[in-house]
Chain A
């Protein structure tokens, strides 16, 4: 079967949703087809039930949101469904900072991004409007915004109010973390009811892309083909254009499906976008497809403090300090965010006391109460690390899916300057945790380092030089005039805070260029 459209978007996550929505506005009547390997999970009416099963039994809150044989080493989420990883996300919508775009020119590190901060900032505002972000202006002048947040901030819970007072005794300014969660009814979705399970929001107050897809489908602005895995892109004989995408229908026993379109957009995230290009031998004249895989490293910890807290009031909400987003150019380079959450670490009920004595009934409750007199905070810093060219997604011929295609394998490799400063970076962050603890008679209970790079990105990095990048700043591949890559794969570096808003902002920035091809 062959489907023809103006635009074929491959991938059904948050970038695809945002792109489809904006394209439909820019060029009404455009024939847009979205092809997603995973399934639709649109049964909002069952979310409360799924949430309860998840709470009670640990069952998957998004049943069927993965494909058994579509996995790979180094992939940090198995979610493959319409909505992608943003079905599960916590809704945190931090912005990067101007430093992220100018690492080379400011610090002589990594590369500069091929766009200005002012340009990106405008699209941050647009992304915040489309997703529905609630937030408060930051205390630092460097974080000035050209538009206010679309919604008032999520109120700080009692716990976070106490923790803000505590944390700011260290001299570090904090604010509530901006989030794509409704503090009032917004875009047809309800106000947050503080259910404490944002990974499965039973009310829809936390944005997820399925809402956008449903709106677009109801308005007949897109065609959505789920359970359809694109296996190859096929170029024209002169290789200047992409002519078709060859797929298989998982719902129809592997029937072959062909997509022909004027323009193709890869919106399949950091793993599956470069994977498809490598499988197809497309877009890789530079040899950089699958290279410079990036993300941010992290260190977390738990701090005990002199305060009575009530864990569970709003565990998903947090404080953030952006103080360390900036680094003086004449100081050792270290950039990181700093987050604080309520925590019950070390305060859970226990079966045996410190001496190993069994605790039953009233004795257990007394022990538990004694240990909750002092509160605890969870802290974490995402810190800036830069990829080497060898930081790569490759095809693993030893692992294939049922169609015989080799699966991706991601191996992150940091560049030499990042390795050289690693110890100093970690020491700095541990010092910040100590500073927070000591500010109010607290103590650091534990510190641990992340074992992967979070919010992965890269693999199709953008740039102005076709020899040093895969696509331009709008995601158009240097090799094929009608092939774009949007979202996470295009990032040259991974920043030092949650990256989803940046993926979306860059995607929205690409939309006019995509529309301009038609």
Chain B
């Protein structure tokens, strides 16, 4: 199954236009709004509940992801590497693809009888996201968001974080913090 094209998404939306007005009150954000405000926390929270562990600080993960999106800079020079070097710049914001993806999640939720994606039962949202990831052909967690799919981008962003690593190891490694040298000879405190 291929990823839903822009035209396909509009077609789906067109079909959804026949739905009662009350079921169409969720609008995906414009690119400008995305840059300014980030994504709707309720939508992200609904995704996070499916894709992030129950032990995680999901609200914190959603907030951090939103912050990442709003602070993304297109065309910024990236590290040029060592050994095999290349001058590169960051590409278009991964979030450019999210409005269409959110449209698809909403449409899929409505097709399953929910008023909105966040309002859909957990099992329904899980099924929708599993299908969306399959459609997007995402095979690996991205190290950083790529735009391939908002769900896997949220996952990649979270699981690459020091907080997720601490959770995995049940230890206060705090990888990216400036922690000082004293105490480093001991195993990190258990969490």
Residues of A bordering B, CB below 8 Å: 53-61, 63-64, 66, 68, 71, 75-79, 88, 154-158, 161, 183, 191-197, 202-203, 310-314, 348-352, 358, 360-362, 364-365, 368-369, 372, 450-452, 454
Contact = CB atoms under 8 A, between A and B. Distances in A.
Interface string B82-100: 1111010010000000000
Interface residues of B, number: 57
Contact of A364 (B133, B155, B186): B155
B164 interface: yes
Contacts of B171: 310
Interface of B: 50-56, 68, 71-73, 76-85, 87, 90, 126, 129-130, 133-134, 138-141, 144, 152, 155, 159, 162, 164-165, 167-169, 171, 173-181, 184-188
A203 B144 contact: no
B79 A60 contact: yes
A183 B182 CA distance: 10
Contacts of B133: 351, 358
Given A57-B90, A194-B180, A313-B173, A364 B140 contact: no
Contact of A57 (B85, B144, B174, B175): B144
B181 A192 contact: yes
A365 B140 CA distance: 15
Contact of B184 (A68, A71, A155, A451): A155
A314 B176 CA distance: 10
A60 B155 CA distance: 24
The CB with the most chain A CB atoms within 10 A, among B80, B138, B171, B174, is that of B80
Contacts of B134: 358
A451 B84 contact: yes
A54 B81 CA distance: 12
A157 B175 CA distance: 13
Contacts of B173: 310-313
Contacts of A79: 80
Given A63-B77, A351-B155, A362 B185 contact: no
Nearest to B80: A78
Nearest to A85: B82
A194 B138 contact: no
Given A158-B186, A313-B188, A196 B165 contact: no
A155 B181 contact: yes
A349 B141 contact: yes
Nearest to A452: B83
16 contacts: A53-B76, A56-B71, A57-B90, A58-B144, A76-B85, A77-B82, A194-B178, A196-B175, A312-B173, A351-B133, A360-B130, A361-B54, A364-B53, A365-B53, A450-B83, A452-B84
A152 to B, nearest CB: 10
A372 B168 contact: yes
Nearest to A453: B83
A350 B140 contact: yes
Given A191-B181, A351-B152, A360 B84 contact: no
Contact of B85 (A77, A192, A194): A77
Contact of A351 (B50, B81, B138, B175): B138
A60 B138 CA distance: 27
A101 B105 CA distance: 67
A196 B169 contact: no
Nearest to A350: B141
A452 B82 CA distance: 10
Given A154-B181, A193-B180, A372-B169, A59 B78 contact: yes
Given A193-B180, A195-B177, A360 B50 contact: yes
> Which 7 pairs, one residue from A and one from B, show the smallest C-beta to C-beta distance?
A312-B175, A193-B178, A365-B53, A195-B178, A349-B159, A60-B77, A78-B80
B191 to A, nearest CB: 11
Contacts of B130: 358, 360
Contact of B185 (A53, A71, A156, A197): A156
Contacts of A54: 79
Nearest to A201: B178
A68 B184 CA distance: 41
A518 to B, nearest CB: 37
Nearest to A349: B159
Given A76-B83, A314-B184, A351-B155, A362 B168 contact: no
Nearest to A200: B79
Contacts of B77: 59-60, 63-64
A64 B139 CA distance: 35
B1 to A, nearest CB: 14
Given A59-B73, A66-B80, A194 B90 contact: no
Contacts of A183: 181
A157 B184 contact: yes
The CB with the most chain B CB atoms within 10 A, among A192, A352, A361, is that of A361
B57 to A, nearest CB: 13
Contacts of A53: 76
Contacts of B174: 312
B113 to A, nearest CB: 22
A59 B144 CA distance: 12
B7 to A, nearest CB: 27
B159 A364 contact: yes
B76 A59 contact: yes
A56 B84 CA distance: 22
Contacts of A368: 159, 168
A451 B168 CA distance: 34
Contacts of B50: 360-361
Contacts of A56: 68, 71
Contacts of B187: 158, 310
